[in-house]
Amino acid sequence: MTTNGVATVIRVDHVSRWFGSVVAVSDVTFDITPGITGLLGPNGAGKTTLLRMITGLAGVSDGSVTVFGQPVRDNPPLYGRIGVMSEHETVYGFMKGRDFVRMMGRLKGVTDLEAAVDKAIGFVDLADAAQRPMGTYSRGMRQRMRLAATLVHDPEILILDEPLNGADPRQRVHFQVLLRQLAAEGRTIVLSSHILEEVELLADTVLLIVNGKLAASGGFRAIRAALDERPYHVLVVSDSPRELASAVVQLDSVDAVNVDPDGTIVVLSRNVRDLQVELPRLAQSASISLRRVEPLDDSLESVFGYLAEG
Amino acid sequence: MGSVYVLTLRQLSGRWRLVIMSVLASMPVLMAAMLVRSDRAPSVEEFELVVLSGMLAGAVLPLVVLAVASTAFANEVEDRTLANLTLSPIPRWHIVVPKLLAAVSVSGPFVALSAFLTSYVAYNADLTATFAVTVSALAGVALYSSAFVWLGLVTTKAIGIGLFYIVLWEGYFAGFVSGIRILSVRYHSIALMHGLDGRRFAEENTLSVGFAVGASIVVFAGFLLLSIRRLRRMDVP
Amino acid sequence: MTKGPVEGTVFDIGYQNYAGPREGRNRARLAVFKDGVRTSLGLGRGARAKILPWFFIALLAMIALIMAMVAGAVNRLGGPEAAAQLPSHSDYYGIASIIFFVFAAVGAPELLCPDRRDGVINLYLVRPLTGTDYVAARWSAFFTVMLATAWVPQVILLIGLTMGDPDPKAYFLTNWLDVPRFLASGIPLAAYATTLALLTAAFTTRRAYASVFLVGLFAITTPFTTGLAMEIGGTVGQWISMFNLSNIPVHVNDVIFGEVSVITREAPAAELSAWILVGWFFLWTLGPGGILWLRYRRLAV
C-alpha cells in the first residue's frame, strides 16, 4: 500500500477506543510513511492512547492498526522491527545502564550484542555512566538510557512519546540531529511532543489530535493554508500607520485592519498571496515607507492554537 | 527466557524480603524441635493438624509464595516496566514461564528447607516421611505460584484476594465446610503427602491421592495457560 | 540610544484573587482524614476500588447475621436456655478477628504506601502539615473505618438476637448491657488492628509486602504460641500465650464482658489478671504507635 507513491508503513484505519463511557479516540484514520511524523494535541487529546494502539500495547475498540501490512496486536515477531519509548520514566533502579541496554538488546534478538550496546550508549553519550545503577541517574540520564535501549536493535520504526523530557538544550540539539539522521536512512519515526518548536523543526508531517479526533494532518503550513475560515494576521510597521490602514482596508484581499496604540497595524487577510502584491503597490502609490511586514501566525503554535483551542 | 528469569530473580530477591521469609520458614522447624523435646509429645493427628497443615501448609507456604509470586508481574505493572518485556519479539510464554520459574526458585528453597527440617526433626530422620512432606510442599509451591502469578497479572488487588483465599477460604471456612477442601491447594498438598507416605500421617483424609494429583496438574497448567492468555490480550500499561 | 526601564501595565481581564476565609492546619488535617476514610472504603473511585473493602464488611456482617439466625432457630426449637449457650456479642470479636485483621492488612497499606512510593507525601508536607499531623490523620481515618466495621455487625447481631427472641422487649431489657460492652470492646480491636497494620505499611512502599507480613505475623504466632504454651504450661506458658498476637484485643474484650470468649477459652493467657491483659494490650498498641509516629515525625520535604 502506498501514500502519494511512498510505501505506507503504519496504517490506522477508522480506529476508535473507548473506556466505559469515555471515548479516548474517535474514528481516526491516517497513514504514516518513512520520515518524521509529529503527533500533537492538548493534554487528554488521545495521543498516548493512539500511540499505544499503534504499538500494540493497547487494543482497539473499533477499526484496525497495521504495521508493514500486518496487524500489530498480539504479533510479537513484529516487535523486532519497532522501537518504542513510552512517556513513563520508570526504570529498573537496581540495574546498571549497560546491563539494561544489553538485556533489551538480547530480548530483541540482537546478534552482535556488545557492539550494538556500545553504539546505542554512544548515541546518547552515556558511556561514562553506563556502569552505574540507573537508580542513581538523573531524570535526563534515565531518559537517554531508555532511548539507547530503544535504539539498540536498530529498528525500522521508532515510536517516541515525549522523548525529550528532562533533556538539556545540548542533548536536545544532539537528539534532533540523531533523529534527522535516522529519518534520512529511511526509518519511520513517530514523535509525540508538547514542544511545538521542535516538532515544527523536525517533523515532515504533523498529525493534530483534538478530543480524540484527527483535527488535521500534513505539513503545518499546508494545514494553516487549509484553515480558510481563519484570516492570516500580518503585522505592518510603516511611517504613516493610519493613512496606510485607511488605504489597506479598501483592498479586496483584506478582511479587517487593527491599529495598535504603538502605531503598528495588523492586517487580517484570507488571501495573503494577493496581499503580498497589493500592499507594496499601495504603499508606493501613497508614498508610505514600509518598515516591517511579518506574518504573525505562520507557525505550528498558531495552527495548534486555532485547532486545539478554537 | 534467561533474561526474563534473571531479571525476575533480581526483582523478587530483596534483602529484607529474604530475611522475613527465612524467619517465617524457621517457625515450623522450631515448633517441631520443641515438640519433639517435650514430655507431652503430640499425637500424629495433632502434629499434622497444627504444624504440618496449620503452620507449614496453611501459613508459611502460601504466604511466602503469595508475597513472591503475586508480585512477579504485579510490580512490573505497577512500575509500568512490563512493556519492556511485552514489546519484545518473543512468544508470550517466553515471558510467563520464566516469571513463574523465578517465583518458584525464590520461594521454593525456603519452603522446601522448612518442610524438610520440620519433618526430619519430627519424624526422627525418617527419610520417607521427610521426602513426602518436602515433595508435597514443593508441589504446593508450584500450584500456589501458578495461581498467584496469574492473579498478579489480572488484578491490582491480588494480595487482598490471595489473603482471602489463604486465610479465610482455606483456613477459616474450610474448617466449617469440608467440601471446600476440594477447591483448596493446601488440602491437595496434604493429600499428596498422605499418598507418598501413608504410614506416618493421620488416617483421616478427605481427598484421594489420585484426585489430588490430577487436580494439581489441571490447576498448575490451567493457571499457566490463563497467564499466557492474559498477557496476550491485556492492555499493557 | 540607551533605553530606560520599560513600563508595564496590568489589565483587568477578570482575574480575582481568592478573598474568602483561609483555614489553616486543622482544615488540612481534616482533609487528610477525609481522604483516608474515602480511600479505605473506595469512595469517590471506581467500582473496583470498592469491591474488597465492602466485601470484607459484608462478610463480617454476614457472620453476625448467621449467628443471629442460628440463635433464633435454636431458640424456637430448643428454648432460650439452649440459645443462651450459643456464641453471642462477647464471642463475636473473637470469631471475626481473623477477618478483621486481614481487612486491616489489606486496607491500611493503601493509606501510606502509595503516597511514599509516588512521592505524593511531599505535596502534603509543603502544606501546613507536619509528619505527625499526616500520620495522625491517616491513623484516625483508618481507625474510624475499623471501628464502624466492628460496630455495625454487632448492631446487626443485636437486632437479630432481639427480634429472634419470643419476647424482644424482655430480651433487650435483660441484655442491654451488651450494647455499651460491645461498643467499648470494639475500640481496642480497631485501635490495635489500625496501629499494627499502619506500622507494617510504614516500613515499605509496596502494599503487597506490608499486607503479607502482617497476616504472616498473626498466622504464624497463633499456632506457634498456642502449641508452645500448652507444652510448657504454668506461668511461662501463660506468658508465651500472651504472644498470640491475634488474641491480644480479644482478651480485652473478655475483660469488658467479664467472661472468656469461645476463642480464648483454651488460651492459657486468659487466666492472667485483667490488669495484665489490658496493660499488655496498651503495650502492643502504644508501642507500635510510638514507632509509627517516630517514623513519620521526622519527615520533611
Residues of B in contact with C87 (CB under 8 A): none
Share of chain C above pLDDT 70, in %: 94
Q: Give the residue on B whose Cα is nearest the Cα of C105.
A: B160
C-alpha cell at C271: 487466666
Highest mean pLDDT range out of A62-66, A179-183, C159-163, C166-170? A62-66
pLDDT bracket for residue C286 (50, 70, 90) = very high
Q: Do B89 and A55 touch (CB under 8 A)?
A: no
Contact C117, C205 (CB under 8 A): yes
Give the lowest-confidence range in A77-86, A190-199, B224-233: A190-199
C-alpha cell at B130: 521427610
Residue B233 above 60 pLDDT? yes
Strands (E), A77-122: 82-85
Mapped onto helix, strand or coil, the DSSP state of residue A84 is strand
Which of A310 and B200 is assigned the larger pLDDT?
A: B200
Q: Give the residue on A whose Cα is nearest the Cα of B78.
A: A90
- Write the residue in B86, B92, B235 that is nearest to A59 by C-beta: B235
Which of B103 and C1 is assigned the larger pLDDT?
A: B103
Average pLDDT of the residues in A5-21: 90
Q: Do B90 and A76 touch (CB under 8 A)?
A: yes
- Write the residue in A79, A84, A103 that is nearest to B89 by C-beta: A79
b/e map of C65-93 (b: 16 or more CB within 10 Å)? Answer: bebbeebbebbeeeeeeebeebbbbbbbb
SS (H, E, C) chain B: CHHHHHHHHHHHCCHHHHHHHHHHHHHHHHHHHHHHHCCCCCCHHHHHHHHHHHHHHHHHHHHHHHHHHHHHHHHHHHHCCCHHHHCCCCCCHHHHHHHHHHHHHHHHHHHHHHHHHHHHHHCCCCHHHHHHHHHHHHHHHHHHHHHHHHHHHHCCCHHHHHHHHHHHHHHHHHHCCHHHHHHCHHHHHHHHHHHHCCCCCCCCCCCCHHHHHHHHHHHHHHHHHHHHHHHHHCCCC
Closest Cα in chain B, distance from residue A199 (Å): 26
Average pLDDT of the residues in B82-102: 95
User: How wide is the angle at C-alpha A174 spanned by C-alphas A206 and A179, nearest 5°?
Assistant: 35
Q: Give the residue on B whose Cα is nearest the Cα of A104.
A: B84
Residues of C in contact with B168 (CB under 8 A): 59, 98-99, 102
Q: Do B75 and C206 touch (CB under 8 A)?
A: yes
Question: pTM for the whole thing?
Answer: 0.83
Kindly give, in sequence order, each residue whose CB lies less than 8 Å from that of residue A66, ignoring residues fewer than 6 positions away. A10, A11, A13, A72
Q: Do A88 and B232 touch (CB under 8 A)?
A: no
Selected for mutation to probe chain B from C50, C212, C214, C231 (highest B CB count within 10 Å) is C212
- DSSP classification of residue A309: I
Average pLDDT of the residues in A79-94: 88
Chain C: touching chains (3 or more CB pairs < 8 Å): B
| ipTM reported for the complex, 2 dp | 0.85
Q: Do A57 and B235 touch (CB under 8 A)?
A: yes
Closest Cα in chain A, distance from residue B143 (Å): 27
Closest CA to B211 of B225, B228, B194, B197: B194
- What's residue C24's pLDDT? 81
Q: Do C102 and B168 touch (CB under 8 A)?
A: yes
Residues of B in contact with A77 (CB under 8 A): 89
Q: Tens of pLDDT along A96-112? A: 999 999 999 999 999 99
Write down the residue that cell numbers 501413608 correspond to.
B198
Q: Give the residue on C whose Cα is nearest the Cα of B21.
A: C213
Q: What share of chain C is helix, strand, coil (3-state, %, to 5)?
A: 75, 0, 25
Q: Give the residue on B whose Cα is nearest the Cα of C203.
A: B16
